[in-house]
Structure 1
Amino acid sequence: VELNCFCWTTSIPNLPEFWHITDLHLDPSYHLAPDPTKVCYSSKGVPATNPGLYGDFLCDSPYRLIESAFTNMASLTQPEDFIIWTGDSPPHVPPDELSTDIVIQVISNMTQTIRQHFPNMTVYPAVGNHDYWPQDQMPDSTNAIYKAAAQFWKPWLQADALLTLSQGGFYSQLAKPGLRVVSVNTILYYGPDKVTRNMTDPAGQFEWLEKTLERAAQNLEKVYIIAHVPVGYLPFVRNTTAIRKSHNERLVTIFRKYSHVIAGHFYGHTHRDSIMVLQDKQGKPVNSLFVSPAVTPIKDAEQSYSNNPSFRMYLYNNKDYTMLDIWQYYLNLTEANEKQRSDWRLEYVMTEAFGLIDLQPQSLLQLGLSFMLPQTKTFHKYFNHFMVSYNNSITCDGGCKVSQVCSVLYLDQLSYSKCAKGAWEH
């Protein structure tokens, strides 16, 4: 029997909202085997440490975990909401464990599961690097997986969106009057994608993106950018962009040019909870970017921390579509396995957690700059959220903190490399 408890102190304000789910990474092989090396294929032979009904930190998501997330989300949902789903349905397993057919099957399964739980809601998906076989090798032209995704997502997307999705894995669609969702296929710019390595504009997506943003500007629309792999620098490693450096520079240039049109950016991929603020060349904050943590709790055996499973809700201003707040929900995986029930809880409300008035670029810039102060409790709280309350005693100082803070504040090579020299460290 599924027992759910919602534990929060404040009620959800009456503002328009939408949901963000990402990195489901279903592992159909997950089961409570007597041999800990055989619990899941995604642990790649490493013994699962503490497996239970809802998973293990060395495994991808059991179906039960994903279903419990959606059941809890559905009980909180308003009928006018929509969902953004930023990719990665298949598990982290060696390529020979999967095939094009299996990947299509997993995307189909996850699509159907979402539709069962949210039958009247529009979902805006983005493709992830695992949503292809072999993983990461996303082509710049039509293929079986793009076509299958277009077929599965027909209930949510219009004909013109389905056309570009089936050709290049990207699309744009009006979500409501004055608000357009633009789903960018950032896997085309992802380092491990050998297919597009030497292309300046794979699938013509840069050209399409500029035209789409230009048209949105002319029509006085605001845009939400959604994608799997984020723009900017990775927060957990020094001087490494999430996509290729050259493509990152081009994307940052486009986003700066159309920052007056873009009301928010929403990404997945890292499995962790982070923010970024895009500044123009003069250092003025122009865009707020959000990376949502994953539903899957998986980590590599040698990593010192992971994330608890999570999903989130954004509150926005229905006049100009700017971001007002995040309500971040999570499941304490260790406790859920011990109690054999899934008590999803509110982890934090972002404005309350950091004393912000909203999530506009100026607010995020002030927050990011406050992280630079020595002995700041704010950064410790941010890093604990980064891990989705995985372990409050793990700290991030010195080089770890420099990588984190520079990735929040600087998205292009020039400004990031100045920051990463660490001159601001005390």
Structure 2
Amino acid sequence: MAGRIAFSIAALAAVMLPLAGAHAQQTAAPLQPGPDEGLFLIVTDIHFDPFTEPSLVPKLDRSPVSDWSAIFKTGTGGNPRGYNHDAGYFLTRSALEAAAAQNMTYDYVLYTGDYLSHDFNSKYQALAGPSPQGHASFAIKTARYVSHLLSETFAGSPILGVMGNTDSACGDYEIAPDSAFTAGLKDQWAALSRQPDRFDRFRTGGYYKVAHPTLADQDIIALNNIFWTPRYSDRCNSGGGDPGGAMMTWLKKQLEQTRQEGRKAQILLHVPPGFNAYSTVRGSGPCDSRLSPFWHERYSKGFLDLMREYSGIVDYTFSGHTHMDSFAIINDTDGTPLIASQITPAVSPIFGNNPAFAVFLYNRTSGDLLDSATFYLSNLAAAAQGAPPDWQLEYVYRSTYSLQDLSPASRSALASRIKSDTLPRQQFTELYAVKAPDNPIDSSNWQAYACAQSAVSEDAYEACYCKAN
């Protein structure tokens, strides 16, 4: 495997967050920026679990975020946990230190959501002890701690994040508009963006728009699109109106402003557009009744209409949520590829994937994505038993798939090849769950995943998948 990079959890004495152990094996960076080129990092879906050592939870609950690292270091559980668990302190530290150890300088860092672990509130209630400070306070501190680790590890880079479905003091898919949770993150996230004056809408809905950190004529629009999902509930703020519709209206206004100023935009969101192939293939009944959209049809249609109306303004979106490595293409009504939607694999291995992060090479003048490299924890099961975590380069996108770049047109061509050609289909299948032993894609269901890459509207996905089955 090209570019193998072995990384021990204690290898990086020179890195900002040192742990004890063997030395890291350094190799040449797999992506080498040329003139007018740069790199950025995407980390997503850590699902930080502060409950891995129950005895520490009451002290964490009473302590400020600045003390949390020292508290975690007093614990005895020094190994990452295995599959089907979220990321605790040691896996999170290991992943971030591995990202910092690749001999690459990142212009900025994107975090596409899910700071908190699954079942967060129930675990807190069970483990907080006799004098709990409250689950809302603990949820805010946990999300702030993840951002603290990101800023500490990548101190020279702006950090831009979005809300995920677990990121709420209320519950999963229950982020409330104008909540204590968004208020508790606003100042920290604004400071990490280096553009604190751009966060005027953040407390209201958890979304914002900033100037791109390096591209003089581009913006980054960060959405809280949990509001657009079928599972969203407003039970903690039933008087919040229609936050999904309000955000769609706000998005249209931002796109219009961007166009009037002669600029372009990239969009950050947690839940990708299109269809959940994993849920679709596990449904029952007729094919059309098994289709599982990521978003409500109303919001999906509204978003697609906006992307077509503002064609040429947005070329890329970045998301996470699935924990897997994939992409989707948004096409114009005539089939022309407009937008490449990147879906980056997760740090949390709770859904059977190997932990991962991705680095992207881009043109600092146009913003075009030129290539990417994905790194993964290759020995999660052994690391859970005490072996040094071994982070490796999994693959480089262009050379693996024989692409010219990562443009919408190139990704669209790849999606067609995956449907028709055995080799790229096998490559995509192997890489989807980051080379994990339990891969959800097989010969009986691959069409659902392939169709999700090129058909994001309900009619298009039904025509692609149901026709094939």
TM-score, length of structure 1 as denominator length: 0.87
Task: Tell me the SS of whatever aligns to 2:191.
Answer: coil
- 2:448 maps to 1:403: yes
1:120 corresponds to which residue?
156
- 2:203 maps to 1:166: yes
Give, in whole Å, the separation in 1 of the partners of 2:350 and 2:156. Answer: 31
Give, in whole Å, the separation in 1 of the partners of 2:337 and 2:265. Answer: 17
Give, in whole Å, the separation in 2 of the partners of 1:401 and 1:22. Answer: 24
- Counterpart residue identity of residue 284, structure 1: T
- 2:209 maps to 1:188: no
- 2:351 maps to 1:329: no
2:345 corresponds to which residue?
293
In structure 2, the CA distance between the partners of 1:5 and 1:245, relative to structure 1 (3 Å rule), is farther
1:96 corresponds to which residue?
122
Pick one of 173, 178, 191 that aligns with 1:136: 173
- 2:427 maps to 1:381: yes
Q: Which runs of 5+ in 2 are unaligned?
A: 1-19, 56-76, 125-134, 281-290
* Cα distance per residue 1:320-361 (max 9 Å; x no partner): 111111110100212434562122111000111111110111
Equivalent runs, 1:3-402 vs 2, <5 Å: 3=22, 5=24, 11-14=30-33, 15-31=37-53, 53-76=79-102, 78-79=104-105, 81-93=107-119, 95-98=121-124, 99-132=135-168, 133-139=170-176, 141-157=177-193, 158-175=195-212, 176=214, 177-195=216-234, 202=244, 204-238=246-280, 239-299=291-351, 306-332=352-378, 333-337=380-384, 340-373=387-420, 376-391=422-437, 396-398=442-444, 400-402=445-447
- Counterpart residue identity of residue 12, structure 1: L
Give, in whole Å, the separation in 2 of the partners of 1:289 and 1:21. Answer: 16
Shift of 1:263: 2.6
Give, in whole Å, the separation in 2 of the partners of 1:257 and 1:223. Answer: 14
Task: Tell me the SS of whatever aligns to 1:330.
Answer: strand
Q: Which runs of 5+ in 1 are unaligned?
A: 34-50, 300-305
Give, in whole Å, the separation in 2 of the partners of 1:112 and 1:170. Answer: 20
Shift of 1:105: 1.2
- Counterpart residue identity of residue 311, structure 1: F
Task: Tell me the SS of whatever aligns to 1:116.
Answer: helix
Shift of 1:73: 1.4
- Counterpart residue identity of residue 327, structure 1: A
Give, in whole Å, the separation in 2 of the partners of 1:93 and 1:226. Answer: 25
Shift of 1:417: 1.2
Query: 1:278–1:288: 8 Å Cα contact kept in structure 2?
Result: yes
Task: Tell me the SS of whatever aligns to 1:92.
Answer: coil
Give, in whole Å, the separation in 1 of the partners of 2:86 and 2:157. Answer: 26
In structure 2, the CA distance between the partners of 1:61 and 1:213, relative to structure 1 (3 Å rule), is same
* Cα distance per residue 1:366-415 (max 9 Å; x no partner): 111111226x02112101111001028875223x1121011000111121
Task: Tell me the SS of whatever aligns to 2:467.
Answer: coil
In structure 2, the CA distance between the partners of 1:94 and 1:171, relative to structure 1 (3 Å rule), is closer
Higher Rg: 2
Shift of 1:259: 3.3
Query: 1:6–1:343: 8 Å Cα contact kept in structure 2?
Result: no
Shift of 1:234: 1.4
Give, in whole Å, the separation in 1 of the partners of 2:92 and 2:374. Answer: 16
Task: Tell me the SS of whatever aligns to 1:20.
Answer: strand
Task: Tell me the SS of whatever aligns to 1:195.
Answer: coil
Query: 2:140–2:184: 8 Å Cα contact kept in structure 1?
Result: yes
In structure 2, the CA distance between the partners of 1:313 and 1:93, relative to structure 1 (3 Å rule), is same
Q: RMSD in angstroms over aligned alpha carbons?
A: 2.4
- Counterpart residue identity of residue 360, structure 1: S
- Counterpart residue identity of residue 69, structure 1: A
Query: 2:315–2:338: 8 Å Cα contact kept in structure 1?
Result: no
Task: Tell me the SS of whatever aligns to 2:341.
Answer: strand
In structure 2, the CA distance between the partners of 1:166 and 1:203, relative to structure 1 (3 Å rule), is farther
Shift of 1:97: 2.6
In structure 2, the CA distance between the partners of 1:54 and 1:120, relative to structure 1 (3 Å rule), is same
Shift of 1:6: 5.1
TM superposition outliers: structure 1 runs of 4+ over 6 Å:
7-10, 196-199
Give, in whole Å, the separation in 1 of the partners of 2:393 and 2:255. Answer: 35
Task: Tell me the SS of whatever aligns to 1:70.
Answer: helix
Give, in whole Å, the separation in 1 of the partners of 2:47 and 2:217. Answer: 33
Query: 1:87–1:125: 8 Å Cα contact kept in structure 2?
Result: yes
Give, in whole Å, the separation in 2 of the partners of 1:10 and 1:146. Answer: 37
In structure 2, the CA distance between the partners of 1:191 and 1:363, relative to structure 1 (3 Å rule), is same
Give, in whole Å, the separation in 2 of the partners of 1:288 and 1:164. Answer: 26
In structure 2, the CA distance between the partners of 1:394 and 1:166, relative to structure 1 (3 Å rule), is closer
Give, in whole Å, the separation in 2 of the partners of 1:415 and 1:200. Answer: 27
In structure 2, the CA distance between the partners of 1:317 and 1:389, relative to structure 1 (3 Å rule), is same
Query: 1:6–1:345: 8 Å Cα contact kept in structure 2?
Result: no
- Counterpart residue identity of residue 360, structure 2: Y
- Counterpart residue identity of residue 232, structure 1: G
Shift of 1:152: 1.9
- 2:467 maps to 1:422: yes
In structure 2, the CA distance between the partners of 1:25 and 1:104, relative to structure 1 (3 Å rule), is same
Give, in whole Å, the separation in 2 of the partners of 1:350 and 1:224. Answer: 20
- Counterpart residue identity of residue 56, structure 1: G
